[in-house]
Amino acid sequence: MASFCVIGIYVDDIDKAVAFYCDMLGFKEAERYADGCIVRLENQGPPVILEKVEKMGSSEYPEVSQVVLGIETDNIKQTSKDLREKGVEFLHDKPQAFVAGFMMAMRDPSGNVLELLQFNKE
């Protein structure tokens, strides 16, 4: 069976990205490669790799086909409050209902979209 073995996130400023993912979201920097242009982050899921690129991309969330990374929480209201206090800017003022629970979208410093997700527990 096929499975994802790594999540790659392209960023235009590696230091800003590391600060966002580590200081704000709670990942841990594990290792730097290629003169610091690639950073592996530790987390509870598949390995996450930040890789420096020359320029930011742009996509219209949620209007176009794209990959969006999700971060699960058991309490979206408290987690979003805590992240806002750290400086994370969300695209929604409050949790948005969707078929499986609630979500709130945010962008990293390079414009990549992440969703904070709270799934219904039935």
Q: What is the pLDDT of residues 14-37, one digit of tens each?
A: 999 999 999 999 999 999 998 889
pLDDT value, residue 56: 80
In this predicted structure, which of 26-30, 61-65, 90-94 has the lowest mean pLDDT?
61-65
* Residue ranges covered by each domain of the chain: 7-119
β partners of residue 31: 40
pTM of the model: 0.88
Mean pLDDT of the region 99-106: 97
* Average pLDDT value for residue range 40-67: 87
Listed residue (23, 30, 28) closest to 88, CA to CA: 23
Whole-angstrom CA distances from 121 to 30, 40, 75, 93, 118 are 32, 32, 12, 23, 9
CATH fold label, 7-119: 2,3-Dihydroxybiphenyl 1,2-Dioxygenase; domain 1 (3.10.180)
Tokens of 118: 């709270």
Compute the half-sphere exposure of residue 39: CA atoms within 13 Å on the CB side of its CA.
Answer: 25
